[in-house]
Structure 1
Amino acid sequence: MTAAYIEHRPRSTDPPAETNHYTIVVNGQDNGTFTTQKAAKDKACADGYDPVHVARVRHLQNRDQPDHWRKDPC
């Protein structure tokens, strides 16, 4: 199946903004709103996405930057 990315929101365009939710991004589309990163990851794994990449929570949103992601074993 296709890869899923767990990202925090709001996006990094506002660096001082705190994370208020997490989402699953598949093919550039947000899929769901979750209060924790773990809940979003668990849902992506349950839905069969492989691999599931979880963003390190910091103010970067560059999918091409490998150190921004950690692959999560479902």
Structure 2
Amino acid sequence: MSAAYIEHRPHATSEQVSTSHYVIIVDGKEVYGNFSTQKTAKEKACNEGHKPVHVARERHLQDRKNPAHWRVDPC
């Protein structure tokens, strides 16, 4: 199955903006949303069979094309 990205919402350009929820992005589209923690979003992506699952290293760094912004989380 396709790779999944766990992203913070709302998008932020500053570390000072707080996260309200997390979403799962697959093939550039938000497929699942409104998770209260990064862990629950990651678990959902793993349970749905997505591999690899990428988690944002820092909230304001979410460029899917830049591997340094992500860590691969084992399922």
Please, what TM-score do these two structures have when normalized by structure 1?
A: 0.88
Q: Determine helix, strand or coil for the equivalent of 2:62.
A: coil
Q: Distance in 2 between matches of 1:49 and 1:68?
A: 19
Q: Give a deviation string over 1:29-51, Cα, whole Å, max 9, x none.
A: 11221000000000000000011
Q: What does residue 64 of structure 1 align with? A: 65
Q: Distance in 2 between matches of 1:38 and 1:61?
A: 17
Q: What does residue 54 of structure 2 align with? A: 53
Provide the aligned length of Structure 1 versus Structure 2: 73
1:17 offset after TM fit, Å?
Answer: 2.1
Q: In 1, are the aligned partners of 2:9 and 2:21 still within 8 Å (CA)?
A: yes
Q: What does residue 23 of structure 1 align with? A: 23
Q: In 2, are the aligned partners of 1:56 and 1:70 still within 8 Å (CA)?
A: yes
- After superposing on structure 2, the runs of 4+ consecutive aligned residues of structure 1 that deviate more than 2 Å are none
Instruction: Say whether 1:44 aligns with 2:45.
Output: yes
Please, what TM-score do these two structures have when normalized by structure 2?
A: 0.87
Q: Determine helix, strand or coil for the equivalent of 1:11.
A: coil
Q: Determine helix, strand or coil for the equivalent of 1:58.
A: coil
Runs (5+) with no aligned partner, structure 2: none
Q: In 1, are the aligned partners of 2:62 and 2:70 still within 8 Å (CA)?
A: no
What's the C-alpha RMSD, in Å, of the aligned pairs? 1.2
